[in-house]
Structure 1
Amino acid sequence: CPSGAPCSVPSCFPPQEETLSERKTIHYLKLSAPWDVLVYYAEELCMRAPLQVCPNPDRNSSAEVLQWLCIPNALQQHVPNKPADYYTCAFRRSKLDKFLGSDSRDSYFSNTQRHRIVYEILARTIYGKRKRAEIGINRLLNERVYAAAFPLHETPESEVPDEALNPRQVLYRFWAQWGCWYRYQPLDHIRQYFGEKIAIYFAWLGFYTAWLLPAAAVGTVVFLAGLVAMGTNTQEICESGGQFLMCPLCDTCETWNISEICPMAKVGYLFDHPGTVFFSVFMSFWAVTFLEYWKRKSATLAHHWDCMDFQEEEERPRPEFAAMAPRMEQNPITGLKEPYFPKQDRLSRVLTGSMAIVIMEAGGAGPCVPPHSVTPVTCLAVLQAGNIANISSSLVNLALILLMSQVYTSLAEKLTRWEMHRTQTLHEDAFTFKVFIFQFVNFYSSPFYVAFFKGRFVGYPGQYGTLLGLRNEECGPGGCLIELAQQLFIIMVGKQIISNVQEFVIPKLKAWRQKRKLARVRGAQISQEPPRWEEDYELIECEGLFEEYLEMVLQFGFITIFVAAFPLAPLFALLNNWVEIRLDAQKFVCEYRRPVAYRAQDIGVWFLILEVLAQISAFLIAFTSDFLPRLLYQYEHDSQLQGYVNFTLAYSPPRYLATGNHTLCRYKAFRDANGNYTLFYWKLLAVRLGFIIAFEHVVFFFLRLIDWLVPDVPGSLELKIKRERYLAKQALADNQEVLLTVSRDSASPGQCARSWRARVCPCPSVKQTRASERLTGAHTEWEALGWRGWREDS
C-alpha cells in the first residue's frame, strides 16, 4: 500500500469443511481503488492530466480531399459523446488544483485509467519467493490459482437514445455493426474504451485499408489490360506449328511442340507484360509513400492521445523482469534504484537464441531442395504433372504453414522470456521480430523458391543438374510466373479466408463452451439473471493484437514483393481488410472480455519490418519477369520482337544426341551449340543486377525526398506541442517559489543532499524554509536530478 500499511485481500477459496459442490462454485472478487491510491499511482505511473480544453475536430485526409472536390462524403458519420481533447502535462499530487475536473473525485480518473492502476498493483505484488518469480497476477493465472482477471465491460447494447449511450454501446452501434463497413472508425471512442494500444492498431489498419484503394484500382486496370492484350502478343508461339520441337521436361517425358502451350502462354502474358512491370514499380513507390505518411499520422495520434514520449520516459520494468533480475542498480535517468540485468548476459542470450532460430530454420527449410516443390518443413515429392501438381502442392504447403505457425510461436515466446528484456515494449518487439522471421520463412519460402530458384539450376540436355540422383525441377511450359501466381492466390487468399472463418467461428465456439461450463456450475441458479461480472466471465479472454498485426504485415509483403506476378493482390487485400475491421470490432466489443488499457505510441517494431518489405520488391522484376530480356532484345536485335521466341531457345548439344535415342530439340536458355552461355546471357545478367541497384537507389532517393518534403510532425502539431509545454510550465510554476541558494564554501554536497531529503537543510548559506506543501511537489523533480544537477540549476 502507498501508505506503508500492510494490505490484505480476502481469500476467494472456500474453507475445507465445505462440500465438493460448494468447492466447485466460482467465487468473484471485485477490486477497486480509493482516491488516495489512484492519486498516488497516477503520479507513480506518469499519467497525464488535463490543463485546458482544446478543439477536437474530425480530421481525415480523405474527407478534406472530398470537400475540396465538392463531393458529398458518404464515409462521414456523426458519433455521439465524442471525447474532448485537452492540453495535458504529467500529473502531480501537489498541483491537483491546477488540473481540470479536480473538484469531482468520482469522475476525475477515467475507467481505463482506473483499470490500469489496479492492474499495475496486481502485477507488482509479490505473493511468494522473489527468486522463483512468484510475483503478479499473471503468474497466479498461469498456475490456475485464479481463473481470470479482467476489467468489467459497460452494460451491453440496448435500445436507448444516441446521446444516452455508454462508450460500449456507442462502439457497438457505430463501429461493430456490419452496416458501418464504409464508415470512418470512431478512433477517439475506441481509445477512450480500450486504451491507446488497441486504438493505434485500428488506426493503422484503417489507414492501411484506405491506402489500398488506389493500389487496388491500378492493379485491376493492369489486370484488365492484360486480358485485352493477352491474345495479341503470343502469335509467334501459337502460330509456330511444329517448328520448335522442345526437349523433354523430365526423364520419362516425351518431346513436345511449343505451339501446344499456346493457352498457357496467353495466361503467362496476363501476369508478365509491361503493365505488370509498371504496377510493380508503382507499388514500390506506393509502399514507401504509405509508410512516410503513416509516420505523420502516427505522430499526430500519439500526441492527441498523450503518449508521444511514453516509451522513452515513462515505461516501467516488466514485473517478471523485476522478479528475476539478479541485482539492483541506479537508473541514470531517474536516479532511482531499479532491477538490473547485465547487458553482456542479455547479449549472450540473444546470440544463443539467434542460433536456435537459425538451426530451426535450417532444419525446416534446409533439407527441402530441388527437384521438387519446397516448403519450410518437408519436401513435397510431387512429380511434374502440370498445374494440378502445382495447385495440390500449394494446398499441402498452406496446411503445413498453418500447422508450423503454432510451433514457431511457442518457441519464440520461450526464447524471448529467457532473454530478460527490461520493459514490456522491448519484450514484445523481440518476440515480434523472432516470430516474423519464423513466419517469413514459413510463408514466403515456397514463393521465393518458385520466383528466384526454380528452373535456375536445371542444366541442359546431356548434362542436367541433379541432386540425390533426381533431376532438378524446372518451370512448367508456361513459365514460373504462372506457378507463382497460383501459389500466391492459394496461400494469400486461402490464408485470409481461413483466418476470417477462424475469427468468426472460434470465438463463438469458445463462448458457447464457456457458457455451458458456467451453466453446470450455477445449477439451479441458471434461471436467475446473472450479474455483470458473470456475463463478462462468459466471454472469452482477449488474445491480444500480435496475430492481427502479423496477418496484416504478411499480407503487406505479398502485395509488395510478389505483386508483379499477381496484380489483383491489392484488391483481395482490400476486400479482406474491410471484413477484418468489422470482425475485429465485433470480437473486442461483443465477444472478448474487456482487456486492460495499455499505452503505446506507435506500432512498434512492425514499422521497421514494413520498411524492409517495401524495399525488396525489385528482385521479382529483375530475375523472374521476361521484361528485361525482351527490352534487351529490342535494343540489340528487333524493336518489334520478331524472332524473339526462336532467340530464347537453344539447340540440344551433340553430346545429348549421342547418349541415346534422342533427336535434335530445343530448350529455353541462352546457350550455344556446346551448352556454354552466350554473350547475351552475361549482358542480361549485368542488366538485371544493374536494374536492381538502380531501382533500389531510385526508391531510396524517393524515400528520402518524401521524408524531406513531408515532415513527420505536421506544423499545426508542432504549435500545439509548444502551447502544451507552455501551459505545463505555467501549471508547475509554483515550484520556482522555493528559492534555494548554495555557497561553494558551505557544507558538503552529501550533507545538503541528506538535509534536503529531510526537508530542512542546516547549512547557513541556504535560506531556511519550511514550505512543506511546496517542497512536496518539488521533491520528486529535485531528487530525480540528483545533487549535482540541483546544484547547477540553483
Structure 2
Amino acid sequence: MTELDTSEKVKLSSTSSPSPSPSSSLPPAWLQNDLVTLFKPDPEPKIAIKQLQLFANQLVHAGFKFKIRLNKPGSLLIFVRASDRLVIDASYQAQVKDWLHGIRTTLPDPPVVKGKLDANLPIAERLRLVHAKLTGALKDQGLGITPARGDWEHVESIFALHDPEFDKAWLKRWSTKWTLDEAELDIIRDSFGEKVGFYFAFLQHYFQWLAIPSILGIISFFFFSPFSIWFAVASCVWSAVFVESWKRKQVDLAVRWRVLGSSALPVERPEFKPAGEIRDAVTGQTVDYYPSWKRVVKQFAAIPIAIVAGALLVALQAFVFVIEIFLAEIYDGPLKQYLVFLPTALLAGLVPTFTAFYNILITRMTEWENHAAKHTFETSITQKLFVLNFLTSYIGLFLSAYVYLPFGHLIAPNLDLITAVAVRLIGERANTTTTASQFTINRFRLRQQYVYFTATAQVINFFVETILPYLKRRLFKEAQKKLQSNHVVIHDVPADNPDEVKFLNRVRAEAEFPDYDVAEDYREMVVQFGYLTMFSAVWPLSYVFSFANNWVELRGDALKISLDERRPIPEKAESIGPWLNNLAFLTWLGSITSASVVVMYAHAGSGDGENNDATGSSLVNVNSWLLLLGVLFSEHVFLVVRYLVRQVFDAFDSTVQQADRKQEYENRAAVIATASNKFNQAEPHEQDDEEDEEEVVRLGKAEVDYGIELLKRTAKANRTEAESSGQASADVKKEL
C-alpha cells in the first residue's frame, strides 16, 4: 500500500508528541463528519505512531477526510468524513447490486450522468454506505477495518454521533402524538435505517392491535366468570390474526422502503473462515465457501449442550420455587420476615450469573458454526437466546399452573420430612413450622405471579430502562462538575479549542455510551406477547396494562436511543427477522396453555369466594382425558382459524404492493417504449432497402404470373368438364 508523503508523516507523527496540535480546528457541528473512530493505540509511542499512520494511510487512499482530537490521555477521537465522490460511487454500486438481485426495478443512472450527490439521499443510507466502506471486506472494496479485532484491535469502536436538533424535535413530536403515522416511521427509517425502523413499526402495530383485547379484557374481568372460555378463545383468535396482519404489514413496509429481497445481499461477517472458494452457480463469481453439512453437524452437536443448560436452569428455578413455597407457606420459625426474601435474592443472584454464562456459551457455539452472513449468525444466536428467555420468563408460571396448584396437596403427607430437614438445618426453633393439618394451597398464587409479570414488572422495567439512566446522567454531570473544579492540570495535555469545547464534551460523553441493541427491545416485546397469549385467561386486565405500557415504551425507547445509547449504525432489513417465528410459536403454544388453564381452573373459582384454600386435596378435579381432549380440540381449532385468516389476507390485495407492481409495469413499459422509439428512429440502409424492394417486386410479379396461369388452366378445365358433363347427359337421355 502506498503511504502518505513525508509532510503528511511529519504531521501525523507530531500528533503523538507530548503536545499534539492538529493543523486546523474542527467546527462544533457533527454534520462535518460521518463517523467517529475511538482510537486507543499501544502505550509505546513508536508503535502508537505506526498504528496511527497505518490507519491514516487507509483513510486517505480511500478518499476519506479526517480530523484528530484528544479524547483523554491514551486515546484519540478521529472524525471521519467521506467525500461526495466516494458516497456517489458507493451509492451507485449498491443500487446496481439491488437491481441485479431484483430489489429495485430500475437500473440507476451512472455517476457520470448524475454528476453530483443526490440531495434526497437519507442520512441513514449515507452512514450505512460509509460504515460499509470502512468495515467491509477488501474483496468488496472495503477497508477491512474490524474494530477491536485482529490487526485493528487499537480501533476500539466506530460510531455515529447523535443529531441533538433532530432528537429534540423527534421527542417533542412524539410526546404530543397518540399514535404514529407512516410519515413518522419513514423519518425513523431515514434517520436510523430499516432495522430500527422495523422495530418501531412493529411496536406501533402491536400497540394499536392491543386495543381490541384490552376492551374485551375489561368486559371479561367485570362481567364474566374467572378463567372465561370465551375470553380465552377471543385471545387465541386475536393472537393468530395479529401475527398474520403483521406479516402483511412488514411486506408492505419492505416494498415501501425498497428493501424487499434485501436478505439476498447478506453482509459477510469478518470472523467467517472459509474452507475454500467456489464459483457461484447464479452470478458466476468466485465466492468464499464453507460446506453447509459441516455447519448443520455443528448445530446438531450443540443441541445436547443447550438441553443440559436448559435443564440446569429449570432445576435451579424449581429449587428456588420449592424454597419459596416452604418459607412462605410452611415455615413459621424465627426470622421468617427476612427469610421470605431469600428466594428473590437467590433468583437475583443465580439467574443473571447463569444467564451470563449461557450467553458466553451460546455465543461461542454460534461462532463455532462459522456463519458467513451476519443475518444468519444473528438468527442462530437469537433462537438460542429465545430458549433461555422462554425458560427464565415463563417457568415460574408453568410450575405454579401445572405443578403447585394441581399437586400441591401432595406436600401435606410429606410435611414431616420437610419439617425434619428444616429442624436439621435451623435447629429446634424450626418446630414452629406448619403441621400437615394446617397446610393449605394458596389459590391466589398463579394470579399473583401473573399480575406481577404483566403489571408490576413492566413498571419496574420502565424505571430501570428510562428513569434510572436519567438519574444516573444527572448524578454523573454533578460529579463531573466537582471533578473538573478539583482536577489537576496536566500541562502536557493541550486544552480544547474554545469553539470546540461544548461539541467535544458531547462526543466524549457519547463515546462512553453503550451500543444500542435492537434485539433486546424485540426480546422484551416478544416476552410480553408470550405472557398475553399463553396466560391472559388468568387475569384479562393484563392486556390493558400492556397496552398502556407499550404507549410509554414507544416514547421510552426513543428517549433511550437519543440520550442514553450510541446512535445505531443503520442496517438494511426486510422484516423483524427470526422474532416473527418466535411470535408464531408462542401463538401456537398459547392455544394449548389457554385451553389447559381454562379446563383445569374454570370450575375451581378465582380464589375470591368460599373454599379459597385446599387442604389435602387437589384444586384440579378434571379427568385427564377431558383435559387432553380440550387441549387437542383447542390446538386444531387454532390451526383452522390461522389457515382461514391467511386465506382472507391473501384474498385482499395490498394497495402498497399494487402500487409497486404498477410502478414496475410502468418502468418496464417505458423501457419497451424507449427501445421501440430507437428502432423506429433508426436510419435504414439505402442499398439494402433498394435490393429488398426489387426482390419484393420480382417475387410479387412471379407469384402474380403463376396465379394468372392457375386461373387460366382452371377455367379451361372447368369448360372441358362442363362439356363432358353435357355430352354425358345427352347420351343418357337418348338411351332413355
TM-score when normalising by structure 2: 0.68
Letter in 2 for 1:225: F
Counterparts in 2 of 1:330 and 1:513: CA distance versus 1, 3 Å = farther
Relative to its length, the structure with more helix (as a share) is 2
Asked if 1:382 is matched to 2:327, the reply is yes
Kindly indicate whether residue 451 of structure 2 is the aligned counterpart of residue 489 of structure 1: yes
Say yes or no: does 1:423 pair with 2:373: yes
Aligned counterparts of 1:360 and 1:562: Cα–Cα separation in 2 = 26
Q: Do the aligned partners of residues 36 and 13 (structure 1) sit closer, same or farther apart at CA in structure 2, a change above 3 Å counting?
A: closer
Q: Does structure 2 conserve the Cα–Cα contact (< 8 Å) formed by 1:308 and 1:601? A: yes
Cross-structure match for 2:665: 726
Matches within 5 A, 1:765-780: none
Asked if the contact 1:481/1:624 (under 8 Å) is kept, the reply is no
The 1-side partners of 2:300 and 2:542 are apart by 37
For 1:722 and 1:439, the matched residues in 2 are separated by: 40
Cα separation, partners in 2 of 1:181 and 1:199, compared to 1, 3 Å: same
Q: Deviations over 1:204-236 (max 9, x none)?
A: 00111111112122222322336xxxxxxxxxx
Q: CA deviation at 1:424?
A: 1.6
Do structure 1's residue 114 and structure 2's residue 126 form an aligned pair? yes
Asked whether the 8 Å contact 1:223–1:567 carries over to 2, the reply is yes
Post-superposition CA distance 1:595-625 (Å, at most 9, x none): 2211111111101111111122244455445
Correspondences of 1:258-273 after superposition (within 5 Å): 273=225
* 1:307 Cα offset (Å): 0.8
> Alpha carbons of 1:630 and 1:147: their partners in 2 closer, same or farther (altered >3 Å)?
closer
CA contact (8 A) 1:43 1:91 kept: no
The question of 1:414 aligning with 2:364 is answered yes
Local SS of the residue matching 1:542? coil
Deviations 1:250-309 (A, max 9, x none): xxxxxxxxxxxxxxxxxxxxxxx3563322221111100111111111111110001111
**Structure 1 counterpart of 2:295, which letter?**
R
Deviations 1:370-407 (A, max 9, x none): 7x725xxx988636249999985774476354554444
Compared with structure 1, are the counterparts of its residues 447 and 608 closer, same or farther at alpha carbon in structure 2 (3 Å cutoff)? same
Tell me if the contact between 1:412 and 1:431 (Cα under 8 Å) persists in the aligned partners: yes
Structure 1 position 409, deviation (Å): 3.1
Q: Which runs of structure 2 are paired with 1:375-524 in the superposition (5 Å)?
A: 382=327, 384-385=329-330, 392=341, 395-396=344-345, 399-400=348-349, 401=351, 404-457=354-407, 482-505=444-467, 507-508=469-470, 509=472, 516=480, 524=495
Aligned positions, number: 584
Question: What SS class does the counterpart of residue 327 from structure 2 fall into?
Answer: coil
Alpha-carbon deviation of 1:477?
Answer: 7.7
Q: Is the 8 A contact 1:553 1:606 kept in 2?
A: yes
Distance 1:139 1:460, change over 3 A: closer
What TM-score does the superposition give when structure 1 sets the normalisation length?
A: 0.64
Report the aligned-residue RMSD: 4.5
Alpha-carbon spacing, 1:622–1:108, altered in 2? closer, same or farther (3 Å): closer
Counterpart secondary structure, 2:105: strand
Q: Report deviation, 1:137.
A: 3.1
Structure 1 pair 295/470, CA: closer, same or farther in 2 (3 Å)?
Answer: farther
Matches within 5 A, 1:692-771: 692-711=631-650, 714-729=653-668
Given the superposition, is the C-alpha separation of residues 463 and 114 from structure 1 closer, same or farther in structure 2, using an over 3 Å criterion? closer
Per-residue deviation, 1:172:
3.5
Give the counterpart letter for 2:92 in structure 1. A
1-structure distance, mates of 2:222, 2:329: 31
| SS of equivalent to 1:149 | strand
Contact persistence 2:409–2:441 (CA under 8 A): no
Q: Which residue of 1 aligns with 2:537?
A: 564
Alpha-carbon distance between aligned partners in 1 of 2:188 and 2:544, rounded to the nearest angstrom: 27
Other structure's SS at 1:31 match? strand
Distance 2:438 2:360 in 1: 38
Are 2:180 and 1:180 equivalent residues in the alignment?
A: no
Q: Report the 3-state secondary structure (helix = DSSP H, G, I; strand = E; otherwise coil) of the residue aligned with 1:317.
A: coil
Is 1:32 the equivalent of 2:82?
yes
The separation in 2 between residues aligned to 1:386 and 1:222, in whole angstroms, is 37
> Which of 606, 620, 627 lines up with 2:579 in the alignment?
606
Q: Distance in 2 between matches of 1:475 and 1:333?
A: 76
**SS at 2:288's partner residue?**
strand
Confirm whether residue 294 of structure 1 aligns to residue 291 of structure 2.
no
Answer whether contact 2:259 2:574 (CA < 8 A) is retained. yes
**Corresponding residue for residue 137 of structure 1:** 146
Alignment partner of 1:208 is 2:206: yes
Do the aligned partners of 1:222 and 1:276 also contact (CA within 8 Å) in 2?
Answer: yes
Whether the aligned pair in 1 keeps the contact of 2:195 and 2:573 (CA below 8 Å) is yes
Q: Which residue of 2 aligns with 1:65?
A: none
2:329 is aligned with 1:329: no
**8 A contact 1:123–1:137 mirrored in 2:** yes
CA shift, 1:369, in A, is 4.7
In the other structure, the counterpart of 1:320 is 271
Q: Is the 8 A contact 2:87 2:117 kept in 1?
A: no
Give unmatched runs, 5+ long, in structure 2: 21-69, 423-434, 679-736
> Which residue of structure 1 aligns with residue 300 of structure 2?
351
Where do 1:82-161 residues align within 5 Å? 89=105, 91-92=107-108, 94=110, 102=114, 104-105=116-117, 107=119, 109-125=121-137, 135-140=144-149, 145-154=154-163, 156-157=164-165
- 1:36/1:627 Cα in 2 relative to 1: closer, same or farther (>3 Å)? closer
Tell me the secondary structure at the aligned position of residue 107 of structure 1: coil
Partners of 1:700 and 1:565 lie apart in 2 by 23
Contact 1:394 1:491 (C-alpha < 8 Å) held by counterparts? no
Query: CA offsets per residue over residues 174-232 of structure 1, 9 Å max, x none?
Result: 13xx3435554711111111111111100000111111112122222322336xxxxxx
Residues 403 and 543 of structure 1, relative CA distance in 2, 3 Å threshold? farther
Residue identity opposite 1:146 in structure 2: V
State yes or no: 1:576 paired with 2:585: no
- More moved, 705-714 vs 11-20: 11-20
Following superposition, the deviation at residue 706 of structure 1 comes to 0.7
Q: Displacement of 1:530 after TM fit?
A: 3.3
Instruction: Return the offset for 1:695.
Output: 0.8
How far off is 1:498 after superposition?
3.2
| CA–CA distance in structure 2, aligned partners of residues 217 and 142 of structure 1 | 58
CA distance in 2, matches of 1:551, 1:394: 23
Q: Which stretches in structure 1 are left out of the alignment for 5+ residues?
A: 50-86, 128-133, 158-166, 227-272, 634-643, 650-665, 671-679, 740-794
Q: Which residue of 2 aligns with 1:268?
A: none
Query: SS where residue 287 of structure 2 aligns?
Result: strand
Structure of higher CA gyration radius: 2
Which secondary structure does the structure 2 equivalent of 1:201 belong to? helix
1:625-664 aligned at under 5 Å gives the runs 625=598, 630=603
Q: Contact 2:596 / 2:630 at 8 angstroms: preserved in 1?
A: no
Counterpart amino acid of residue 145 in structure 2: G
* Shift in alpha-carbon separation, 1:622–1:705, aligned structure 2, 3 A: closer
Instruction: Tell me the equivalent position of 1:775.
Output: none
How far apart, CA to CA, are the structure 1 residues paired with 2:522 and 2:436?
36
CA contact (8 A) 1:112 1:195 kept: yes
CA distance in 1, matches of 2:314, 2:638: 31
Residue 544 of structure 1 deviates from its aligned partner by: 1.8
The one-letter code sitting in structure 1 at the alignment partner of 2:85 is: W
Deviations 1:735-770 (A, max 9, x none): 989x9xxxxxxxxxxxxxxxxxxxxxxxxxxxxxxx
SS at match of 2:190: helix
